[in-house]
């Protein structure tokens, strides 16, 4: 499979935020979100076998521990990445899959925690969510909306309520988008949607979701990769 990087850091998103985690970042994405902070994954990388990836993961962190499969869009390499996730589970790791929601997810092993995006209008990739994926998410999974505006918030709130997401998954996450060229200050000034504003809307609407911040961007310079 084509891999951009494998590294160890703290998990920055989802309900696992704050935990040490090995990230396996696969190369390539078929979407082009306006605020994407992973454009460096679109090309390049290096070919690695399943056993080479397993070896690198175990060098960085012995099982049990957290491993996130991410990208780019990892499910573009479904034939290779599904067996990889199963082997990592067999090795004793807890496996998270971060995915755009555009690819089919029915072949993802059941023990993998899926963190599935639903793209909002300001991403430029609205309507890419594969509605069949609502049948594949379970009470262990998480659904994430990255928000850049009030229009995005209204979309996310309507989608969450209409599809009763809070009853389907472990967590629904509303997360402010970060400016993709952000650098320097490690604070919310780089958010495209002010977290305080988002929090106030969520409180007023009693939203069945939790506000998620990208923790790593408040710990390291947001321009730093591999953290």
Our finding on whether 31 is near ligand SF4 (CB under 6 A) is yes
The site string for ligand SF4 over 91-130 (x = CB under 6 A, - otherwise) reads ---------x------------------------------
Angle at which helices 195-205 and 150-162 cross, to 10°? 40
Answer for the pair 113, 169: CB distance below 8 angstroms, yes or no.
Answer: no
Q: Please state, in angstroms and rounded to a whole number, the distance separating the CA atoms of residues 169 and 144.
A: 11
Span interacting with ligand SF4, options 45-53, 61-69, 70-78, 107-115, rule CB under 6 A? 70-78
Span interacting with ligand SF4, options 24-32, 133-141, 161-169, 182-190, rule CB under 6 A? 24-32
Angle at which helices 50-60 and 78-90 cross, to 10°? 40
Our finding on whether 81 is near ligand SF4 (CB under 6 A) is no
Q: Residue 29 or residue 54: which is nearer to ligand SF4 going by CB?
A: 29
Q: Residue 13 or residue 65: which is nearer to ligand SF4 going by CB?
A: 13
Q: Residue 12 or residue 71: which is nearer to ligand SF4 going by CB?
A: 71
**Residue 127: left if φ>0, alpha if ψ -120 to 50, beta else—which one?**
left
**Residue 134: left if φ>0, alpha if ψ -120 to 50, beta else—which one?**
alpha
Answer for the pair 90, 117: CB distance below 8 angstroms, yes or no.
Answer: no
Rounded to the nearest whole angstrom, what is the least distance from the CB of residue 38 to ligand SF4 in the complex?
Answer: 4
Q: Which residues bind ligand SF4 (CB under 6 A)?
A: 29, 31-33, 36, 38, 71-73, 100
């Amino acid at each position: 499979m084509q891999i951009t990087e494998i590294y160890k850091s703290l998990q920055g998103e989802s309900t696992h935020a704050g935990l040490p985690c090995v990230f396996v970042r696969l190369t390539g994405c078929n979407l082009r979100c306006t605020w994407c902070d992973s454009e460096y994954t679109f090309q390049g990388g290096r070919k690695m076998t399943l056993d080479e990836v397993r070896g690198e993961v175990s060098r960085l962190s012995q099982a049990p521990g957290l491993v996130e499969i991410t990208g780019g869009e990892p499910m573009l390499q479904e034939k290779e990445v599904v067996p990889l996730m199963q082997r990592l589970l067999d090795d004793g790791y807890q496996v998270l899959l971060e995915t755009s929601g555009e690819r089919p997810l029915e072949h993802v092993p059941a023990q993998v925690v899926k963190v599935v995006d639903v793209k909002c209008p300001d991403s430029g990739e609205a309507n890419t969510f594969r509605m069949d994926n609502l049948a594949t998410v379970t009470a262990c999974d998480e659904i994430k909306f990255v928000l850049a505006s009030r229009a995005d918030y209204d979309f996310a709130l309507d989608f969450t309520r209409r599809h009763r997401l809070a009853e389907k998954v472990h967590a629904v996450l509303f997360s402010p988008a970060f400016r993709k060229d952000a650098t320097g200050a490690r604070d919310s000034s780089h958010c495209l949607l002010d977290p305080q504003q988002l929090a106030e809307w969520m409180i007023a609407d009693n939203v069945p979701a939790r506000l998620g911040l990208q923790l790593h961007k408040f710990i390291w310079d947001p321009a730093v990769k591999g953290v």
